[in-house]
Amino acid sequence: MSELETRERLTPGPASSAIQWDYAPSLEATDHFKLESRYDLFIGGKFVAPHSKRWFQTINPATEETLAEVAEGDAEDVDRAVREARRAYEKVWRKTSPSERAKYIFRIARLIQEKARALAVVETMNGGKPIKESRDVDIPLAAAHFFYYAGWADKLEYAFPNRNVAPVGVAGQIIPWNFPLLMAAWKLAPALAAGNTIVLKPAETTPVTSLMLAQIIQEADLPPGVVNIVTGAGATGAALVAHDDVDKIAFTGSTEVGKRIQRAAAGTKKKLTLELGGKAPNIVFEDAPLDQAIEGIINGIYFNQGHVCCAGSRLFVQESILEPVVRKLRDRIGTLRVGNPLDKNTDVGAINSRAQLEKIQELVSSGVEEGAEMYQTSCSLPTRGFWFAPTFFTGVGQSNRIAQEEIFGPVLSVLTFRTPEEALEKANNTPYGLSAGVWTEKGSRILKMAQKLRAGVIWANTYNKFDPTSPFGGFKESGFGREGGVQGLAPYVQLS
């Protein structure tokens, strides 16, 4: 270690040595598109009023203002959508040639790109995430998924060599609120490429970009009934899971609901994939490039307000570098800009819902009660809407709730280790296994850790990087099945 590095590591910094530059507000415009005041269900290629005759208000969590009214589908509506999906499957989509299917998927991708600006603004207004994330991450990745799977549609015999490949049939897909359009893309694109038809159930707090996608699907001239979108809450999702004529269920969301769905699907013909929660370890060794690691830690947990199933929510720091890591972390989170998600300078936006905010608050109080030491930024938070200041805990015990349970908010638990074996043992000590991060200069150590970490995705010297070509999914209670890559086609095909 050079003298300079030693000094850097040992000099204690003042509580908030970082400089917070004030930028003039730079708000993304919202006048270049118009939302409907009310959205119906998208069934059989048309928007139709719900049988339930009920609509609910969907809000902007940063202001609590209503954005639109959205239909609440009931079991009858789900049945209508499944019947349309079945008809479209038997009469049209399974008979459509693979290269024709590809053209439709490609067209959807192009239309998402064309409407990217409006989609990004609406994603931010309905979900609370900073515009720079919806603009630079969510929407481009959603388009990329459709492009990628368009490419597979007429090459399935290369994806599964020496096998006969057939679609599964009607897929019921239930998605969460943390990446609304992106999760719709993850689910729809491989299913369409493989020749299935779909009933999609968006999350109740973030339905609007899925309904804009329904408009895109109409514009792309996809045959009616190939994609149906039924909005509503948990009961609507449960009706879809319970429907007899659904061949496959794909779910992303809480482990609790995932278990319930697994029970409901047991003993039926339904194929199932689940992508559930996480409590990812982000492991920093003493030889890691520290400033780069700090950026990765920040990105790993404060990105998208920590509403990320693969968030690096448990930071394991090698004991010898605990002091500089904690100091740098404290300085860096002091510079995060929390506030209006439509401002291009905002780093941390609004919490998605009041219920999620209450869950975060409750778990954070448990951390304080269990004796961990809390550090929270002193940024001022808006008075309306749902907000939580970036927070981390030191002195966290392995058995503390904040080290065990998914918080799904901008809250990091810092733990320590001495040897790689101890890091592995502690990192794997969780019911989850979705993702992990490793920070070290040593390539051999990266490989060794990656082999022994029980997680579906492992990032080395980076964090939260996504690509449509790369499979994503969990071990243990984080679920089963993979989305993305050639592996992402497997749940949507029957092989013989």
Stretch that binds ligand NAI, among 70-78, 172-180, 396-404, 457-465 (CB under 6 A): 172-180
Size of site (CB under 6 A) for ligand NAI: 27
Contacts with ligand NAI in 20-39 (CB under 6 A)?
none
- Distance from C-alpha of 169 to C-alpha of 187, rounded to nearest angstrom: 14
Nearer to ligand NAI, 230 or 493 (CB): 230
Stretch that binds ligand NAI, among 82-90, 207-215, 218-226, 271-279 (CB under 6 A): 271-279
Among candidate residues 275, 286, 406, 483, the one labeled active-site is: 275
Q: Is 140 among the residues that bind ligand NAI (CB under 6 A)?
A: no
Tokens standing for residue 269: 């013909």
- Distance from C-alpha of 408 to C-alpha of 112, rounded to nearest angstrom: 28
58 has which bridge partners?
A: 68
Contacts with ligand NAI in 304-333 (CB under 6 A)?
309
Q: Which of 103, 117, 260, 445 binds ligand NAI (CB under 6 A)?
A: 260
Contacts with ligand NAI in 382-401 (CB under 6 A)?
none
Q: Which of 117, 337, 359, 448 binds ligand NAI (CB under 6 A)?
A: 359
Name the phi and psi angles at 368, rounded to 5.
-65, -45
Residue nearest to ligand NAI (CB): 237
435 has which bridge partners?
A: 457
Residue 229 to residues 48, 123, 209, 320: CA-CA distances in angstroms? 11, 17, 11, 53
Q: Which of 167, 253, 324, 420 binds ligand NAI (CB under 6 A)?
A: 253
Nearer to ligand NAI, 107 or 201 (CB): 201
The site string for ligand NAI over 435-474 (x = CB under 6 A, - otherwise) reads ----------------------------------------
Q: Is 77 among the residues that bind ligand NAI (CB under 6 A)?
A: no
Q: Is 354 among the residues that bind ligand NAI (CB under 6 A)?
A: no
Residue 1 to residues 4, 10, 320, 419: CA-CA distances in angstroms? 8, 12, 13, 19
- Distance from C-alpha of 452 to C-alpha of 440, rounded to nearest angstrom: 16
Establish whether 275 is a catalytic residue. yes
Contacts with ligand NAI in 286-305 (CB under 6 A)?
none
Mark residue 196 as left, alpha or beta (left: phi above 0; alpha: psi -120 to 50; beta: remaining). beta
> What does the DSSP assignment read for 132-195?
HHIIIIIHHHHHHHHHHHHHHTT-HHHHSTTS-EEE--EEEEE--SSSHHHHHHHHHHHHHHTT
Q: Which of 170, 174, 222, 326 binds ligand NAI (CB under 6 A)?
A: 174
* Positive or negative torsion for Cα 185, 168, 161, 474: positive
Q: Is 476 among the residues that bind ligand NAI (CB under 6 A)?
A: no
Under a CB-based contact definition with an 8 Å cutoff, are residues 455 and 477 in contact?
no
Q: Is 128 among the residues that bind ligand NAI (CB under 6 A)?
A: no
Tokens standing for residue 319: 């004991």
- Distance from C-alpha of 111 to C-alpha of 219, rounded to nearest angstrom: 8
Establish whether 84 is a catalytic residue. no
Q: Is 178 among the residues that bind ligand NAI (CB under 6 A)?
A: yes
102 has which bridge partners?
A: none
Q: Is 199 among the residues that bind ligand NAI (CB under 6 A)?
A: no
Match 């996480």 to its residue by tokens: 278
Kindly state the smallest distance separating residue 356's Cβ from ligand NAI, in Å.
6
Residue 96 to residues 7, 99, 117, 191: CA-CA distances in angstroms? 67, 8, 32, 14
Q: Is 238 among the residues that bind ligand NAI (CB under 6 A)?
A: yes
Q: Is 242 among the residues that bind ligand NAI (CB under 6 A)?
A: no
Tokens standing for residue 107: 């067209």
Q: Is 173 among the residues that bind ligand NAI (CB under 6 A)?
A: no
Nearer to ligand NAI, 308 or 326 (CB): 308
Longest dimension (CA), the chain: 74
Nearer to ligand NAI, 90 or 245 (CB): 245
Q: Which of 247, 347, 406, 477 binds ligand NAI (CB under 6 A)?
A: 406
Query: Is 272 in a helix, a strand, or coil?
Result: strand
| β-strands 55-60, 65-71 pairing | antiparallel
Nearer to ligand NAI, 134 or 178 (CB): 178
Contacts with ligand NAI in 205-234 (CB under 6 A)?
233-234
- Distance from C-alpha of 487 to C-alpha of 483, rounded to nearest angstrom: 7
Residues at the site binding ligand NAI, with contacts judged by CB under 6 A: 174-178, 201, 203-204, 233-234, 237-238, 241, 252-254, 257, 260-261, 275-277, 309, 356, 359, 406, 408
The set of catalytic residues is 275, 309
